[in-house]
Structure 1
Amino acid sequence: MHAHGDDDGTIELKTPEQFEAMKQAGKVVSRTLALLRSAVRPGITTGELDRIAEESIRSQGAVPSFLGYGDFPGSICASVNDEIVHGIPGARVLREGDLISIDCGAIIPDDVTLVATGRWNTRGWHADAAVTVGVGEIAPELAELSRVTEQAMWAGIDAVKEGVALNDVSTAIDGFTRSQPRRYGIIRDYGGHGIGSSMHMAPMVYNYPVRGERLVLTTGMAIAIEPMLTLGKNKTRVLADDWTVVSKDGSYAAHWEHTVALTPDGVVVTTAPEE
């Protein structure tokens, strides 16, 4: 999930102990997303995927970051086809050829007694990641859309280093996307964010270069990098549920995300899939 207006502009620097909790949260998210990827098939509902996710998160000693955030009713965002982000899981049945992005967050709570009942505002340490998955056989252009979005994310992650400008990360995402033979819509209305003791914190992580952005990355920071691309234009609109963001032109979208920590031992992708 990306920023929905709950950070106060403070850049939070984490201690090594706090990063350990964030790494633990990252493993929970990574394992949960692996479970969800294997569960995606024609005929399953997005609500069933949500139930799998909540059970997985809580069974690993964590709490869902999304559940109850604002009034969000799910433990995952499930965004299908022209839905870019913040799709609410429910009765929608996945069909052969669909493209679904699944966004998932988890908190390692400071108070372990809250594991069974905790929600987004539980005090603790967060991880946030998203994958895009084809349902059954998908069109080659959709597979390529997802691949390019994922690689754009990795281009951004590869640019993360102590002392590097945050804008260089944004430029790397944008540059990789624009280097492709096909033109993609790079979503500008939404982007990545700082993360740590809250799911959304400063700084905003844009997926394109921003004039005047001067923030420099430093040890102790953690950011969620999450490009969103469409097969068409980059304009968006929000549906009547006040959450689901769709492409204005109805073109299909993909979304990938990882949480990246600048630890004293180097850059760590806390939500990277386990080997």
Structure 2
Amino acid sequence: MVPKIASPQFHSWLPFVTLLRKEVLRFMRVASQTLLTPIITASLYLFVFGATLGERLSVLEGFSYAQFVIPGLILMGVINNSFANTSSSLFMSRYLGGIVDLLVTPVTPPQFILAYTLAAMLRGSLVGGVVWVISTLFAELPWTSPLLAVLMAFLASFLFAQFGLIAAIFAHNFDTLSMYSNFLILPLIYLGGVFYPISILPAPWENLSYLNPLFYLIDGFRHAILGVGDTSFVLAFCVSGGIAATLFVWAAWLIGKGYRLRS
């Protein structure tokens, strides 16, 4: 019997598949840190805002506070873990020198980005999915447009996977990398309407909130689930999609040039 020879197309995508598999196995091997820890943290948020305040407060007519805050907590898990996966993995490759081995492999810049991005989106989706399952113990969501909600979650995950790659390239050390998460992403999430609708804010804080890019991700995701939001879903999706596309082009340019990857 004559053995079958793999097609050239298969060989061209084999390095990508190998890199994707490596990235997935990387966070699965330390699942207690990459998956369990953020799930426990989100569960504590759900307990505080769901079990204690969920039925006692209401910031949106027709919905309990738990129903209002759960979409934001789900998306927060997706965002944080998507960013953490790409940023930590690429930075460690730079720090340990393993990135040099990747750069000499026949992996194109789009394949490089896609492998890191898909692994990050998988981790973010797993955390977000489990947080949603746990949230059913505290409140029932109407899921007005489930497909749009999933689309918005994937867009948020994709966006922050690109941002994680860019942050890993520009970070000088571990402290710099953690600053992106602690002093940029976290404040923008909290000020983006996770725990309150920006419509209740006095001027000029309501208008300033529209300058927060994470507001559009959070409000768009909540709008798809509850059917109401501070802005239209189309606007939220367009703004978020534009930011995601910009970050993707930026990351592709940096990786294509090998900027700070060979040093």
Q: TM-score, normalised by structure 2?
A: 0.27
Q: Which has the higher helix share?
A: 2
* Larger Rg over CA atoms: 2
Q: TM-score, normalised by structure 1?
A: 0.26
